[in-house]
Amino acid sequence: MSASLLIRNAQVLCLDAADREWPRADIYIEAGRIVAIGPDAGLPYLQQAARVIDADGMLAMPGLINAHFHSSGNLMKGCLDGLPLELFMLHEVPPLANSGDSERLIYVRTALGALEMLERGITAVHDDAYHVPIATRESVDAIMQAYADVGIRATVAIDQPNIVEYDKYPFLEELLTPAQRAAMDAAPRQSTDELLALYTDFIEHWHGAEAGRLRAAVSCSAPQRVTQDYFEGLSALSHKHNLPFNIHILETKLQRVLGEEEFGKSLIQYVADLGLLDRRMMVIHAIWVDDADIQLLVEAGCSVAHNPVCNLRLGSGVMPWRRLRNAGVPVCIGTDEMNTDDTTNLWQVAKTAALLQTIADPEYRDWPRAPEMLHAATRGGARALLQEGELGELTVGALADIALLDLDTHAFTPLNDLRRQLVFAEDGTSVRYTIVNGRVVYEQGRVTTIDARALRREARELMKDYAAGLAHASVSAAELAVAYRAMYLRASQQDVGFSRWVGDGAATHPTSRHPGEGRDPDPASGTGSRPSPG
């Protein structure tokens, strides 16, 4: 358990329900929780505190919560041009892969992302970790051990679809060649019993580990990517252990079309009709939702994870932020993964989320304001993690996950409005201390838990072999892309009654020939070159 810690003389922004703020206050921490907070609240504890941080000139605020993330993409920043999700996933999760990554590579890439987050004052992450081609106890343990060693708070799910690739999409089976369908039929898949057994082991070994800092969640990836019995089994686990349930729904227009083609209804309605939509579910993206879908989310008590930078990178569309919020849907924000955002910078995500709505809605009174974005980045994330009152706010009894920011930086000079400048001016470079569970894990430019420089060196070395695997996946992706593009275009031209794309009508029907078509570039780079190994 963490030693006692006293933070003295900080400007304190609690971001709690009372919206308390003090120009100068103390925070005293014991056993990983806030014991006292307020002006001179630390005076009775001066002699017993194991450590005192003089935070004069600094802002103390809740650590940010990255509410949606895929650590499995941590080595792929800069590898891909923007592509629609359905084509992008040919590189991200190659459907014909028959071998996986080493445990050491999984450990290093997970730790690398955690380091980047801690340096930016992100104290908690909700990792929807996928495994290619199958999930194993060893691959799960490698992820969890990395989070244990680095010191971030992590809630982790095993994101593992278990149906044949072409059944996840509309029209695809008929567009593939017989050889491609046969290869997909033969690709490794895990049964419901295998995956539920893996989850049981995962929960037994890791849920609540590291003094509660590490927790389990469940994930079906998306409702159309799993068998119904597995979906129901995951829901039962979520109920039994009160675990968050990660589920990607209506991220793209194609998924809207899929619901109508396969189920005769939206995917939200499909999940609701199965009786599985509930308050433990974090619905990821929720872009192509209509008003009926939103009402179902409200009635079930689901939260929604908004990933605006990823959505822009993949051309998925603009989530109807104000409709969801006005209806009462809790919203959190995430970076998604480093092959779609290319960073773990949640500050940038908050700014993008606020600005994106200005081109989606001419009613400027409905544009998101800075306090809303700060809520989404803190208490909104806590709600999605089912840890309301525990995380995302500085209050007595809450877990001590705190970021200390230097106010003598460009972002806050001059300091005109703290909340606006946190959202629109700060980029994480003002963070001087990151505290998780009462433990200082980042201090004045250095992560205190592991050797960050050695980890980065190892990541660069591992990338040499990993890049070869990415290049091989790109060859396979290029062969499948013809069918996937035809599927994407067919879905994009289908009328679903509304649009979530910004622009004129031509933008919704991408049938024109791209200047690069006709050649055979490496899809992983967009320029015909292979990813650099270094």
- Percent of the chain whose pLDDT exceeds 70: 94
Q: Where are the beta strands (DSSP E) in 286-371?
A: 303-306, 331-333
| Tokens 């794309």 found at | 501
Terminal CA-to-CA distance of the chain, rounded, Å?
38
Residues 365, 373: Cα–Cα separation, whole Å:
15
Mean pLDDT for the stretch of residues 170-187:
98
- Per-residue pLDDT of 101-142, as tens digits, reads 999 999 999 999 999 999 999 999 999 999 999 999 999 999
The whole-number pLDDT of residue 344 equals: 97
Half-sphere exposure of 34 (CA within 13 A, CB side): 27
**Average pLDDT of span 321-347:** 97
pLDDT the model gives residue 1:
56
pTM for this model (two decimals): 0.94
pLDDT at 193: 98
Is residue 499's pLDDT more than 50? yes
Tell me the pLDDT tens digit for each residue of 458-484.
999 999 999 998 998 899 999 999 999
pLDDT at 534 over 80: no
d(CA 393, CA 387): 11
**Rounded distance between C-alpha atoms, residue 233 and residue 228, angstroms:** 9
- Give the CATH number of domain 5-62+397-447: 2.30.40.10
Q: What are phi and psi of 331, to 5 degrees?
A: -120, 135
| Domain boundaries, given as residue ranges, for the chain | 5-62+397-447
On the question of pLDDT at 70 being above 70, the answer is yes
Residue position matching structure tokens 């993964």: 337
Average pLDDT on 73-82 reads 95
Each residue's pLDDT tens digit, 362-394: 999 999 999 999 999 999 999 999 999 999 999
What count of other Cβ atoms lies within 10 Å of the Cβ of residue 275?
9
E-assigned strands of 287-369?
Answer: 303-306, 331-333
Which residues touch 83 (CB under 8 Å, ≥6 apart)? 91, 314, 523
Of 156, 166, 168, which is closest to residue 68 (Cα–Cα)? 156
| Cα 427 to Cα 151: distance, rounded to the nearest angstrom | 22
DSSP symbol at 341: T
| Residue 282 pLDDT exceeds 60 | yes
pLDDT value of residue 522: 37
Average pLDDT of the residues in 20-25 = 98
pLDDT recorded at residue 533 = 31
Would you say 204 and 240 are in contact if contact means Cβ atoms under 8 Å apart? no
Question: Which residues partner with 403 through β-bridges?
Answer: 61, 434
Residue 513, pLDDT score:
42
Query: pLDDT per residue over 229-280, tens digit each?
Result: 999 999 999 999 999 999 999 999 999 999 999 999 999 999 999 999 999 9
Q: What's the pLDDT at 517?
A: 36
Q: Is 52 exposed, middle or buried (0-12, 13-18, 19+ CB in 10 A)?
A: middle
Q: Residue 519 — pLDDT band, cuts 50, 70, 90?
A: very low
